[in-house]
Amino acid sequence: MKKKRKRENCLTCFNKPAISAMPKAPNKKVKNTDILTAGSKAYAKKRKIKKERVERVDFDPESRKEYLTGFHKRKVERKKKAQENWQERLRQEKIRDRAALKAERKRQLEERLAHMQAALNGGLSDNEGGDQEETVFTDSEETKEESSKKEAEVKEFKSASALTTVTVIEDMDDWNNDD
């Protein structure tokens, strides 16, 4: 069994200054005013803490109940919000994919139209415009055909990789009049 300590020496505690508030320089002599004011600094600190303390905390029973019973509800709400964000992200991604596909199709259409336009204007080389080769057109029998219109017109298209010969017959009536 422990013996209880008597409080006889308690009054001596108040007469001693607070050790932490005293100057710490060992070479200097401690002034009497420092010893006497050390306790007031400690009490000033305690008074400041007491002033900052909240006097009373009131709990609203309804909001407390809502907080305590609302964990599941808030968890479901967070999941729902995350799912909505995910759906929105997917929708935006689909929109971007569709826009990219539309731009690609438009680019291909413009490329095909340019290809067709070039074919109509002067023909394409066999490399289909990919290597920027120059196509040379020669009319070897152009001068002879002007003199006689019943002969076939022959044109040659030369490129770096192929030679194409085209024969054009303008007067088809002679073939029908063989009777």
Stronger pLDDT, 120 or 171, i.e. the higher one: 120
> pLDDT tens-digit profile of 32-79?
888 888 888 888 888 888 777 777 888 899 999 999 999 999 999 999
Q: What is the predicted pLDDT for the residue at 11?
A: 47
Q: pLDDT band at 114, cuts 50/70/90?
A: very high
pLDDT of res. 133: 55
pLDDT at 108: 96
Portion of the chain with pLDDT greater than 70, in percent: 64
pLDDT band at 25 (very low <50, low <70, confident <90, very high): low
- Is the pLDDT at 95 greater than 70? The verdict is yes
Contact between 163 and 156 under an 8 Å Cβ cutoff? The reply is yes
pLDDT value of position 145: 45
Q: Is 41 or 130 the better-scoring residue by pLDDT?
A: 41
Helix (H) or strand (E) holding 138: strand 136-138
124 pLDDT exceeds 80? no
Residue 127 confidence (pLDDT) above 70: no
- Res 70: pLDDT: 93
Tokens coding 96: 């971007």
pLDDT, one tens digit per residue, over 161-170 is 888 888 877 7
Strand, helix or coil for residue 130: coil
Report whether 38 contacts 17 (CB < 8 A). Answer: yes
Which of the pair, 133 or 101, is modelled with greater confidence?
101
Query: From residue 162, how far is each of 119, 157, 158, 165 by CA, in Å?
Result: 16, 8, 6, 10
Confidence of residue 138 (pLDDT cuts 50, 70, 90): low
